[in-house]
Chains A and B, each alone.
Chain A
């Protein structure tokens, strides 16, 4: 029996719609990876191969793009992704204290996911909110002027 495809008809239609606006199908590579990630949270090898076939690219070519960009996840991530700004202004304003609190509270290191699949902890360079450092993003929510106490409350909002 043929193995079931990971990408749904809906996803494939979305990907086709994107490349219809470009001179080349491969121009939809980044956008296609975003579509896969939107539905699956991350890009598995199998999904990547299916995307490559749609875009008429080799899986390696798609992977070279996928691994280049820091916000395309090639490993599974938790329900909520925490991106901690580790850049200059946040470092000056106490990012290390925020990171230490998070690591202690969640019991994980950078790149890891909590055993209950709730949080993945990642670093991100400058969030462009340096006047409100230290800062981080959880999913799409920006949290600024952080202190460990504030963060304790913030984490409760994400189940």
Chain B
């Protein structure tokens, strides 16, 4: 669906110069747009700004919006004294691990649900979707006990296993949507040519839905990366993830805002980059394929 084919509804620029009311309407329209854009962007801008200000400037009144000498000392403190790199690495290991294993087991499941006429497949698919609706805390108490019993509490492996609850349903549903759109004749002609089902899946279907798999992988990576609650319950000390460390550094009496701003900035940076690269698939991912763009 290309947006370029649509005519511009309501943008009456030539009209506006002739009619003062229309000119006013256009001004209000763009003014409102600018206010909304500022509302969306300013909090992010401010966090990044504070991260490159020295503590004296942050604590001083009035706040400096634009003109100040940027410093990197907050980032230096963050990575040397606070060892934030380690927690970013924890976040990365959990998210990347959960995503890659989910792809290996989720893509065949998506194929099976999409193509292989599983008995009750519709219900299984819907049940998989419904696991995404579960409020995580409602199942965390029994899982916490189980993980403590088997010694997986406070380990990244344990956290990774629970993160399957985020990544697996998402990957299955998004990839299933992509496979559904693929013409079945491709696999059929491959199987007529003598390859078996697994070959047809591996050699025909997987390469063709690769863009979909990549989109699903990155979107579920964002969700795993952003997650806080599961790490709060299941990790501690050296196995904490980046959001958890941000949260625990906020508890102190005197908050080092510059350093926290830096921590927030480096934590959201990968997410922002991924989502800008994926912007055409993002909504599909957020709605698990229910909305196609």
A in complex with B: no
By a beta-carbon cutoff of 8 Å, the part of chain A in contact with chain B is: none
